[in-house]
Amino acid sequence: MFKKSFSITITMGCCGCFGFIRKFKRCRNQSGIKTSISQDPLLDETEDREEEDDDDNDDDRSYNGDLTDTISGDDSEVPIRAKRSEEILMLREEKDMICRQFPVKETYKAVRAEDENGNKMVNEYVREYKIGSGSYGKVVLYRSCVDGEYYAIKAFHKSHLQKLRVAPSETAMTDVLREVLIMKMLEHPNIVNLIEVIDDPESDHFYMVLEYVEGKWVCEGSGPSCSLGEETARKYLRDIVSGLRYLHAHNIVHGDIKPDNLLVTRHGTVKIGDFSVSQAFEDDNDVLRRSPGTPVFTAPECCLGLTYNGKAADTWAVGVTLYCMILGEYPFLGDTLQDTYDKIVNNPLVLPDDLNPQIRSLLEGLLCKDPKHRMTLADVAQHSWVIGDDGPIPEYLCWCKRKRLGGEDLNSDNLLA
């Protein structure tokens, strides 16, 4: 599966999967040959840590991509921002700055039972089978007895999350609660929707009920055969850029854009998922120090142990994703983690001679190593190859914008400007 080829973790014993800080030396120049996705160094080594219902070995669709080790940073240093993401998000919630027409349902009672067929249930949801696992918990397909719809439910054990230290002042529970706060703010056709949060104070269980995307990843398989045709890649890229521009407009950095976290519906729409390492900002000051994304999708500036701008790093990851969709391989991949970082920082971008010149210019712009000269998402939306026959990517008229406009018909189905 594509997930096993694209998820790279750091070998640090049992702590490597959970974002513990580890500093790396500055990258030094090393030579190396271009390597295909089908090569298998640095594969996913995330441990399954579920405490029950874990005897399934079903399809491993990714609603919570595996968190890799933090590349750089030191939380003991003076914080970059005046407020942490959690404070910013809670303040937005208090001020009703939520960009969704209907709020996420919050349930404070979790009833675990069985239906007449012996299938396990949580409240109205009947368990079908496990569909994935992430850094902190599992993802299970459930069917609602109320509306008959299927939902992907991320299940966690609060006691387990509270024991996992991801930074000197943070546990894994901090990450999960931040993910919930972020998803409670958002509503966009290219972002996986959070439906309900079940958090019973009398129970150790914690659940995030998400829309179920019954489709596939942006790429499945491995090696050059994974490459998509130009038309499909263009369509997917337009959806990715639309969703990510929406996030950035709301001062949210995703932090782990990669094919694993991009799900395609049966109708061919891409939805961005997994906000477990995302961050919120008060304004356009998106400076970060820690970089907990996936190594092969990491921007050069994140490899150097320096501060960086989160939106520009997201844009680099879009470039790596496009490279993978078009060419079926990573632009920079070494035999070791450090070698991979060295290549990201030092090696030139290699593109086939017969590549479409428009795609070449787009990849060169997205994968520009200097973030100050890297293409922005606005530039991408106006690029000739992206426009194609469909025109520029429409600007999404989100709920909070419509509320500010006042004169708009808030019940209109026309969400695009």
Taking CA atoms, 185 is separated from 65, 92, 122, 129, 137, in Å, by 20, 8, 25, 29, 22
Other Cβ atoms closer than 10 A to 76:
9
Instruction: Say yes or no: do domains 2-211 and 216-400 share a fold.
Output: no
- The domain over range 2-211 is classified in CATH as 3.40.50.720: no
Q: What is the pLDDT of residue 226?
A: 62
Q: What is the pLDDT of residue 107?
A: 96
Region for residue 146 given its phi and psi (left: phi exceeds 0; alpha: psi -120 to 50; beta: otherwise)? alpha
83-87, 221-225, 307-311, 364-368, range with the lowest pLDDT = 221-225
Say how far apart CA 133 and CA 66 lie, in whole Å.
8
Say how far apart CA 400 and CA 415 lie, in whole Å.
11
- The domain over range 216-400 is classified in CATH as 1.10.510.10: yes
User: Is 154 within any annotated ligand binding site?
Assistant: yes
Q: What is the pLDDT of residue 398?
A: 85
Is residue 135 a contact partner of residue 124, using CB atoms and an 8 Å limit?
Answer: no
Is residue 305 a contact partner of residue 28, using CB atoms and an 8 Å limit?
Answer: no
User: Which pLDDT tens digit goes with each residue over 57-112?
Assistant: 444 444 544 444 433 334 444 344 446 877 777 777 777 778 888 899 999 999 99
Say how far apart CA 343 and CA 128 lie, in whole Å.
43
Other Cβ atoms closer than 10 A to 292:
27
Largest CA distance in the chain: 63
User: Which pLDDT tens digit goes with each residue over 29-58?
Assistant: 333 333 333 333 332 333 333 334 444 444
* Residues that are catalytic: 256
User: What's the mean pLDDT in 301-326?
Assistant: 93
pTM over 0.85: no
Q: What is the pLDDT of residue 208?
A: 96
- Angle between helix axes 357-366 and 310-327 (nearest 10 degrees) is 150
Domain-by-domain residue ranges, the chain?
Answer: 2-211, 216-400
User: Which pLDDT tens digit goes with each residue over 144-185?
Assistant: 999 999 999 999 999 999 998 877 788 889 889 999 999 999
User: What's the mean pLDDT in 360-389?
Assistant: 95
The pLDDT-based confidence of 330 (bands split at 50, 70, 90) is very high
